[in-house]
Structure formats: C-alpha cells, structure tokens
Amino acid sequence: MTNTKSHPAALTTEKYGLNKKELLKACVDREILLMKRNSFIYIFKLFQLLVLSFITLTLFFRTEMHRRTTEDGGIYVGALFFGIIMITFNGMSEISMTIAKLPVYYKQRDYLFYPSWSYALPAWVVKIPISFIEAALWTILTYYVVGFDPNIARFFKQYLILLLVNQMSSGLFRFIGALGRNMIVANTFGSFALLLIVALGGFVIVREDVKKWWLWGYWSSPLMYAMNGIVVNEFLGHQWKAPLNGTTLGKTIITSGGFYAEAYWYWISIAALLGFILVLNLCFALSLAILGPFGKSQSNAAHADNDTEVELSAMTTGDDATQTKKKGMILPFEPHSMTFNDVKYSVDMPQEMKEQGVSEDRLLLLKGVSGAFRPGVLTALMGVSGAGKTTLMDVLAGRKTGGYIEGDVRISGYPKKQETFARISGYCEQNDIHSPQVTVYESLLYSAWLRLATDVDEQTRKSFVDEVMDLVELNPLRDALVGLPGVNGLSTEQRKRLTIAVELVANPSIIFMDEPTSGLDARAAAIVMRTVRNTVDTGRTVVCTIHQPSIDIFEAFDELFLMKRGGQELYVGPVGRHSCELIKYFEDINGISKIKDGYNPATWMLEVSASAQEMALGVDFTEIYQNSDLYRRNKALIAELSVPRPGTNDLYFPTQYSQSFLVQCMVCLWKQRWSYWRNPPYTAVRFAFTTFIAVMFGTMFWDLGSKKNTQRELTNAIGSIYAATLFLAIQNASAVQPVVDIERTVFYRERAAGMYSALPYAFAQVLVEIPYVFAQSAVYSIIVYAMIGFDWTAAKFFWYLFFQFCSLLYMTYYGMMTVAITPNANIAAIIAASFYGLFNVFSGFIIPRPRIPVWWRWYYWGNPLAWTLYGMVVSQFGDFDDRLTSGETVKGYLRRYFGYKHDFLPAIAGVHIGLVLFFGFIFAYCIRAFNFQKR
C-alpha cells in the first residue's frame, strides 16, 4: 500500500463529542429530568414552607402587632429575620442532593463526557424557578397578614430580597456539598457555615458590639446584607414616619438594631447578594473541576494471606472423620427432630391483584407441604426463584411478622410453641447483619452471654465460644472489627461464617440457614459449606435453602426438599451417593431425558422439573410425587416422628429469655459502650465540633455576660445563649440519627432470635449517651462561661452546666426518637428538621412570650428549647437589681419584656429532667412497638 496517510476522520481532534451548545443542552435536559424524578423533595419543601408561613402569619398577626415604640419594631424585625432564616435553611437539602450525584459526575467527567462547567451551570440555572416559587409562597402568604408596609413596590422589593437569599443559600450549600464530598464532613461544614452567617447576621448580636477581630465575618455574612436591605425596605415606609427624638421611629429602630438607615442600602444589599450568588456558584464549579472523589478503603488485604493457611490446614484435618465428630461437644444439647404436615401459608391479596379482578381475599404461598428434618441430617431446600423456599423456612422458624399459617408443626412430637422454640433454634439470615464497631470475638461472646442458660459459668462460656470459633474457622480473625458490608471490615464470606457462628454459640438443636452460599465465589462457598457440614456432624438438625449449588456443594447434602413454583413439593427424599437416588427417581418418569455425564445433577433436576417441561409432557410432578412409594415412606416417617418418644418431656423454660432483665441491660450496655468507643467519626467529631463552636462563640461574644447597662447589651447576651442552644441541639439531634439507624437493624435480628426484650436495648442505647454528652457539655460550658464572662459563682455555673447538659441530652434523645418512629434515617432527618424551625421561632428570642398571641402560647410551653433558654437566662440575670439606662432593673426588664421570673427556677429544672425522661421513654416505647421490617 503506497498511500500511508491515514484518513482525516479516523482520529478525533475534539476533546468532547459535542459542541458547547449541544453539551449544555444535554446537561440541562438531564438536570430537568432528575428534578422531575425527584419532585417529591421539592413538593415536600414547599409544603414545609407553607406550614411555617401559616404559623408565622398567625404568630405575628397584624391585630397584635403595634407600631408605637421601638420594642414594637423589634418584633417586626424578628418576623423579618425568621423569614430570612427559613428561606436560608430551606437550601440545606442541596448538600445531600449534590453529594448523591457526585460519584456519577466524577466518572463521566473523567471519561470526558462533558467539561465541568457544563455540569455546574445547569445545576444552578435549572433550579432558579424553584427559588421564584418558594420566595413567592412565603412573601404572598405573610406580607399583608403580618401587616408589613402596604405599598406594592415595597412588597416586590421584599420578594426580590428573599428570592436572592434563596439563591444564595442553595449556592452556598451546593458549594459545601461539592467541597465536602462526603455526608459527615459536608454536614459539619454546613452547620459551621450556617452558624457563622446566622450569628453574624446582625440580629443575634448588634453591629456595634461585634468584636473587631470578628468584623470581617460580619461584613462577609450574606445574611447581614439581606437583613439590612429588608429592614430598610420596611422601616423607611410611611407607616413608620412617626417623629421620635428629632428623627423618625422607623430610623430609630433601624439604627438601634445596628443597621444603616439610608435608603440606598437596599440596593447595596441587592448587589451584595448577587455577588454572593455568582461567587458561590463559581466556587461550586471550581471545586467540581479540581477535586476528585474521596478514596474508600476495604481492609481485606490484612486477612488475605492467613486465609490460605486456614484453607490448607483445615483440608488435611477435615478427612479425619473421628476428629470432626468431637467438635463442639463441650456443652451438651438435646437433638430434636422437626416434622410438619400439610402446612399452608397465605397473605392478604395484594391490592394490585385485586384490581386485575382476582376475587379471593387471600393468596396462598404454600399449598400444604409436608416433611421431616432429623438430627445429623443436612437437608437442602431447593426450587426455582419464587417457589417459596425462604417462605417455608420463615414459617417453620417462626420469623414471619404477617400472614396466616395453618397446619401441624411438631418438635420431637410435641406441638411447636414459638417462645420455647426460639431458645433451641438458630436462624442465619441471608443478609449478614452485625454491629459494625465490635470485634468478631466480642460479637460471639455477646451472643453466647445472652443466649446460653444461666447455669453456664463464664469460664465454660468462653471456652465454648473458642470451640465454635475453631469449628467455623474464625480464629485468625478473632480481633478484627466487623465493619459495614461493602465498605470496610470483614469480607462477605467471613461475614457469612460469623453469622453462622453467632447462631452456633447459642448451642441450638435446630439451625435454619437462608442461602448460606449466595453472593460467594466457589472457594468461599466451599469454606462456608465445610462449616455447615462440621455443624451437622455434631448431631444437630440443619436446614439450608440453597440457590444454584456446584456439584461438590450439592453432594454435601443428605436429603433434598425440592419445591416448584406456587409452593408445592416435587421431591422429598435422599440425595444418595453421587446423587444416584435423585437421578433414578427423575429418570423413571416417562419422557424425561437421561442426565449427561459430568453434568451438575442440581442444575439438571431444576431443568427437567421446570414448569415448561410439565406443559410439554402434560404431567404434574407434584401428582407423580404424591403417588410414589417415596411419598408414602415420608408420610409414615412423619407419623412415626409426630409421636413423642417415651420418657421425653415437652420443651419447658422457666423464663422467656435465658438471662434476667438486669443481665440483659448489662450485656447490652457493654456492647454499646464498645460500639461508641470505637466510633470516632461520631463521638470524636461531635466533641471537636462542640469545642470549636465554644471557642468561636467565646471570641464572638467576648465579655458580654458582664455588661448589663443597656437593654441592647442584655439582648446581646441573651442572643449568645439562644444561638448556642439552638445550634448545638440541632447538631446533636442530627448526628445521632444514622448511628441509631444502623444499630436498629441489628436489634431486629437479635430480638427475633430471643436474645433480649426491647427495653434493655433501649435502656443501653439511652445510657451510653450520657457520659459522652456530659463530657461535651462540661467542656463547652467551661470555655464559654469563662470567655463570655458570666458571673463566677458556683451556683450560677452549675445551673448553666445543668441546663446545657439537659438540653444536649434531650435533643440527642429527640434525634433517637425520630429514628424510632420512622422507617429509615432519611425520613427521620426530614421529620426532625421540620420541627427545628418551630423550636427556633417559639424559643422566646425572636418573639418574647408576652408578645405571642394567646392562641400560640401553649406551644411556647410545649417547646423544649424555650425552657432551656428560660432557665439559662433567668439563672444568669434573673436576680440582678442593677438599673438599666432606661431606668428599669434588669430583673424588671426580663420580667416585663420576656416574662422571665427568677423564682420559677426549680420548676424549670424539673421540666428539664422530665423532658430527658420523656424523649428517652418514647424512644424505648417506639423501639418496642414499631417493627418496620416486613417479612
């Protein structure tokens, strides 16, 4: 070939496949699609705003709002501030939404799907209409009802500011999400950002009192500009033109709040907000362009090398049958057989099927199956997907939470009672659920401690756990942390063996295993099956459901229980050496092709008995089975085992749980303590966050506590208490949710296994928080108390510490309670967040109690944070008789303006203890009463 020049179109010269316009269009289309699919969040946020604006307009109702004094003006400022805060908080959901989309974005960016700007731009622009709707909803509902200035131009000017604040806050949180790239980090940063811009927003602390080292923060807080613009827009209106001391009432209110009273400040604040929006979205685009994904590590490398040795050593000893016989015999157990005759299971007919015209009320999932499981015999439950294998197992093990069960189930000839049966049986679930922060040895010790009889002493218990670890070959992993599946800790197959071991240490006679080999590779499956075989050889009754076994695994089973779709049995009987019995049974049926040499009998058997084969041959395999000798032999065996052997007694235990209530509490607390101690992302981050906030507040409100000459100084001091209580409380409540949520799934498994009742668990979860929260509040109180310079008397300091501690504790329990009443942590976070806004507005700082209309005052008394604020303020300032510049005493001012009385302290203290107990109790009750697992 002479012409070696390649064709000009053979190589791409462009970096991206599309031109800029098309790239942008594609990204915009996708963003719109994502918003449509995710519309629930936006609708929910609108609904939340709707509810809060209704509360606002009934709380700041125009008939109750006067325009006589500067104090009346203060209430209007509070209403404006609350509006801005609500709009700002509404942007916080951007964090999780941004982070959820990041992994896909990083992959597509690195494959050069599109440049980062074409992703960042739509993410901002497409959401602008939502800001329009949210701001409009708030302004239209509240503006005229609260009684702001009726001039229509001012209405639109307020709308414009709220619109820009909304854009600014979603830009800010988008940026934080892209910068943090991980929920925990981003949430912590998000809280910091909120804290800074709110505390320095000009309402909590007045400009003239901001320390010079924080002035940069004041000038860079977007809320400060928003507040200034919105108060100028309101108080320069003609309703506030009443003359006062040579100027107008409106101007006095603006300047007493530390804002600028010139009309052009409205336009300055608009320009500033626009600037913030551009800068924050630019930062968002830059962090998308520069940063990569967070690395995630899975620590299996550590165990990989010693795994191979386990494999070989076990292989050599495994052949010696006499040796395996002795394993696990230190604690005696009674072998039990299990028979079930004509078991039916039905559920209520699902709504979808009723709509298609099905008339029956119930849907039968098991149609009268019978069989027997004997000690020392390993039975496989097999069938195509949807044949009802797991259903049958759940019914027999008593793990179903709904549905109707009929039929006769007997244990060694006596009718099965779930309470006693749970004590002699073990159930290994398909998904391995374990507490992530404990070691392998600890989880086994914990299970043994709670499930072995009380007469087993500690020494025996420990050596029994060691034996089980030997049997399941977990010794090399003795001190490995369990970790979260797929993130860190044990590999899938090690987890599976741990699940089996956790059941074995209970010394059960009958063990059910739901797909012990699914999700494992061939080698891992062989290790697990060897564990199962070792277990059977100790003389226990073991039943496994199994999916697509290899030849080796299939031939490890002694008996087979084969089911077909619709919950009927096809073959119940021995497998035989090299599956000869099974193959002979099926090959004897007319029209079934012989098995090929070296073909997997398990696969062949499922193929020949498939429903398509039934149609082709025109036979019903269940009928064939029910007419066979095998069926009659099985029925005879069931009849023989259904009669109790002479000299045996029915299962009886004096108590429902093997350990007493106190021991259950102790064991649960022991495990929770380790879990918390080994969970620094939760405990240590929370502690560091608190210390940091303490230092920040200390420097921001430096020495405010000792100044009490004017109303403004007093308000600043109260503002510092308000900001601190609100933010720490919210931080605590939201941090605890994911932790409790993970532990709860473990709790469901352990309670179903009869390890403990719900109360000891809840008790431990509640108790374990106390030392952590106490350390947190002690450090916080000492730093803040010293730096803000409150009165150094022992009584006042301990009152402060007491209120701080109780407040953090009841908010932590509040977070736990929201998890207990909702199905998962996401919904819990949404529900908890909708109350933070209420806690905030009714806390008595934005609008003091005497100014709250009578129809909302009940909620003030029902608001936990209001009690804390009351207690803290009144224990600090409530007994001062110093005169303010206005001529009132401090005590009198607090009583008149805030309605705070000093002699109410003991009652407030009582309410705090009550709140802690109340939230803790509701958590315990809901954990006991609600089960969000559907089986």
pLDDT in tens, 486-499: 778 898 889 999 99
Q: Measure CA 267 to chain center.
A: 44
For the residues 16-35, what does the mean pLDDT come to?
Answer: 93
Local confidence band at 4 (pLDDT 50, 70, 90 cut-offs): low
In contact, 428 and 514? CB cutoff 8 Å: yes
Q: Which residues contact 804 (CB under 8 A, 6 or more apart)?
A: 725, 777, 780, 781, 872
Length of the chain: 935
Give me the pLDDT at residue 1, please.
54
For the residues 122-133, what does the mean pLDDT come to?
Answer: 95
Give me the pLDDT at residue 518, please.
83
In contact, 702 and 209? CB cutoff 8 Å: no
Q: What are phi and psi of 357, to 5 degrees?
A: 95, 20
Q: Is the pLDDT of residue 427 over 80?
A: yes
For 165-179, the pLDDT digits (tens) are 999 999 999 999 999
Closest CA to 65 of 893, 849, 853: 853
Alpha-carbon gap, residue 171 to 282, rounded angstroms: 9
3 state DSSP class of 567: coil
Give me the pLDDT at residue 321, please.
40
CA 884, 886, 889, 894 torsion-angle sign: negative
Between the alpha carbon of residue 224 and those of residues 85, 199, 625, the distances in Å are: 11, 10, 82
CA 582, 584, 587, 589 torsion-angle sign: negative
Q: Is the pLDDT of residue 580 over 60?
A: yes
Average pLDDT, the chain: 90
Which range (3-17, 214-228, 276-290, 627-641) has the least confidence?
3-17
Give me the pLDDT at residue 2, please.
54
Closest CA to 168 of 223, 231, 96: 223
Q: Which residues contact 629 (CB under 8 A, 6 or more apart)?
A: none
Is the pTM higher than 0.85?
yes
Greatest extent of the chain over all pairs of C-alpha atoms, in Å: 112
Where b means 16+ CB within 10 Å and e means fewer, 642-670 reads beeeeeeeebeeeeebbbeeebbbebbbb
3 state DSSP class of 398: coil
Total Cβ atoms within 10 A of residue 635: 14
Report residue 526 as tokens: 């062989």
**Alpha helices (runs of H) in 573-679, residue ranges in sequence order:** 580-587, 601-608, 611-617, 621-626, 629-641, 661-677
For the residues 610-639, what does the mean pLDDT come to?
Answer: 92
Which percentage of the chain shows pLDDT scores above 70? 95
For the residues 366-374, what does the mean pLDDT come to?
Answer: 94
For 740-770, the pLDDT digits (tens) are 999 999 999 999 888 999 999 999 999 999 9
Give me the pLDDT at residue 302, please.
42
Local confidence band at 92 (pLDDT 50, 70, 90 cut-offs): confident
Closest CA to 845 of 733, 714, 731, 702: 714
For 276-328, the pLDDT digits (tens) are 999 999 999 999 999 988 765 444 434 444 444 444 334 333 344 434 444 54
Which percentage of the chain shows pLDDT scores above 90? 64
Report residue 98 as tokens: 């941004």
Give me the pLDDT at residue 752, please.
87
Alpha-carbon gap, residue 772 to 787, rounded angstroms: 23
For 342-364, the pLDDT digits (tens) are 999 999 988 888 888 888 889 99
For the residues 776-786, what does the mean pLDDT come to?
Answer: 95
Local confidence band at 368 (pLDDT 50, 70, 90 cut-offs): very high
Give me the pLDDT at residue 186, please.
87
Give me the pLDDT at residue 791, please.
87
In contact, 841 and 82? CB cutoff 8 Å: yes
First to last CA, the chain: 71
Give me the pLDDT at residue 319, please.
42
Local confidence band at 73 (pLDDT 50, 70, 90 cut-offs): very high
Local confidence band at 531 (pLDDT 50, 70, 90 cut-offs): confident
For 384-409, the pLDDT digits (tens) are 888 899 999 999 999 888 889 999 99
Q: What are phi and psi of 221, to 5 degrees?
A: -90, 120
Q: Which residue has the tokens 């793990």?
A: 399
In contact, 866 and 920? CB cutoff 8 Å: no
